[in-house]
Structure 1
């Protein structure tokens, strides 16, 4: 009896300690980004909610460029829309500073001409971002990665599309830590073999475990759920970016391919990770090239979102990366695929 009482007393104190810790964590982690991170890292608990990633930070609406891509204004816009994550592209200046730019050259998206890595940061600061299509010149100059992190801080997660080699990832993480956003960063690499998994794990060991990693898996190299399990388990990944390649003149995918099969969905549930589909278009490539033809063009321009967003959700997708975050979020909310965030605490 005494032993049971002692155990009960110890357990009570332990529970009190846990409760106190939980309260402290909750008090410290009430930012929007932390609430998003909870949904991102607990896939099975949030499968009724579909998250939205704004490609190139969220620059388009109804197929028209409305903001400079990879801009601070675009991040703010995506936050206002309710997106959970922005994707941005990292490059280096001639003097080794990390900057955000999709292309290797400046011509398409800025007022300058030439290759990014031939300009020092001071020279890049003279290049203004433009709105592609209209050519409108914005007040923004080529941003540093740290400046973009500062805008995202406490508000939205950041998906790093590394346009350089894996050797820059520790530098990306260091800049994130300096701003206080390391927990908001998601790094990724394309994985297709056990060797590739080992190489990515070696890189991430140099990055640190405070930054999230997820694999990119494409169905031209991967066709079985067992490898999907290995790739996600190796990094305790909360998500996997899945590619269903669409060829020229091919019909719309009818099943989604092996990475969106029932076995793949079961693997995601077993591993507690999100299935992520990319619906954004690629210039001069077939519509929906990354999504079996069922991309943003079908959803927005042809006004058939059920056959795009709905199709992927039916196959277990809980994260959509899109050039049309406004349209996607509106459709998802209208059809009951979004659960509001409690930002009142």
Structure 2
């Protein structure tokens, strides 16, 4: 990789080594992650990793049920900073964690989630997609999954509902003492969406981190990016570089959202630039990353052309289906800083 991120002078305070087998206090690790999320400029030499659907794949294959406790456990174990959880509602209004609007692909049940009561959903078991393996985990509620992650790892909420539903999602986290344990987000592409998000965040309050999602089919003006980030004191902006056609060449520049001006805006605004490298089923490789995604990195052995490229263009958070491999690659590049003691 051509670019070496400058070393930041300020370092973490010394933490005494723990005895073998000991665990950090419950809130310690997620608190340290939150610190790095909240102060991008201090930690630009440490690239954070987010496990898509909580961390369900390895080497391109599904090995765990997505959005499961098992996936959270594995992600926390390997050092992932955040797990992404998808939120929907049951027929009786319960917030549940499920990617699809229907149950067939990821559970033992069938039908639309919105047409099933929570009691019915609790009879459905999560499956490891494509393997025939049925787990002992039922469809989880958001509350259950937040409690499972609490203190160990941050939770990136992918809200499959309306932006206004974030108010109840945050209320759930706040009730569990996890206002600082989640990152919420919504797509913003014009002033109308900006004002809608601003209204939602006014109702929520300032104690929860909010991240705008910006896509380069609609957002091309760096000044708008800076204005949106500033409106919410956003610790990060999720950037989409579209490649909808497999015949399109790989992005050579990262597009307007990863331009030198955009990177300068991120530094001035002290926010992280977030790239998604995971694939989307039956769509071109790296569709949301200008073609530079996990498949190109690992199936074709072009890790520098994927993760190196995005880091060179300013990314300091990567959401991936290959979190363990990405962490290993980053460590080999000197782009991870230990959460344990620094001497």
Pair in the same fold by TM > 0.5: yes
- Which residue of 2 is the match for residue 80 of structure 1? 77
Determine helix, strand or coil for the equivalent of 2:37: helix
Segments of 5+ residues of structure 2 without an aligned counterpart are 1-24
Structure 1 residue runs of 5 or longer lacking an equivalent are 1-27
Aligned residue for 1:170, secondary structure, equals helix
The TM-score normalised by the length of structure 2 is: 0.91
Instruction: State the 4+ residue runs in structure 1 displaced beyond 6 angstroms.
Output: none
Asked whether 1:118 is paired with 2:115, we answer yes
> Of the candidates 122, 143, 163, which is equivalent to residue 146 of structure 1?
143
The SS at the match of 2:232 is: coil
Q: Distance in 1 between matches of 2:298 and 2:145?
A: 28
In the TM superposition, residue 253 of structure 1 has moved relative to its aligned partner by 0.7
After superposing the two structures, state which structure 1 stretch, 267-276 or 207-216, moved more: 207-216
CA positional deviation for 1:56? 0.5
SS at match of 1:109: coil
Within the candidate set 189, 195, 201, 1:204 is matched to: 201
Counterpart of 1:223 in structure 2 is: 220
Matches of 2:89 and 2:153, distance apart in 1: 23
Query: Residue 234 of structure 1: SS of its match in structure 2?
Result: helix
The CA deviation string for residues 25-54 of structure 1, in whole angstroms up to 9 with x for no partner, is xxx996100000010000000000000000
Q: 1:316 aligns with which of 314, 322, 331?
A: 314
Residue deviations 1:157-178, cap 9 Å, x none? 1111111112221111111012
2:137 alignment partner, SS class: strand
Q: Mean Cα displacement is larger for which, 226-235 or 208-217?
A: 208-217
Describe the shift of the 1:343–1:75 C-alpha distance in structure 2 as closer, same or farther (beyond 3 A).
farther
Which residue number in structure 2 is paired with residue 325 of structure 1?
A: 323
When the two structures are superposed, what TM-score results if normalisation uses the length of structure 1? 0.90
Per the alignment, do residues 195 and 334 of structure 1 end up closer, same or farther by CA in structure 2, a change over 3 Å counting?
Answer: same
Larger radius of gyration: 1
SS of 1:223's equivalent in the other structure is coil
Give how far 1:146 is off.
0.5
Deviates more, 1:326-335 or 1:29-38: 29-38
**167-176 or 283-292, larger mean C-alpha shift:** 167-176
**Structure 2 residue corresponding to 1:131, chosen from 128, 131, 137:** 128
Q: Partner of 1:298 in structure 2?
A: 296
Q: Which has a greater percent of helix? A: 1
Post-superposition offset of 1:182: 1.2
Note the C-alpha offset of 1:102.
0.2
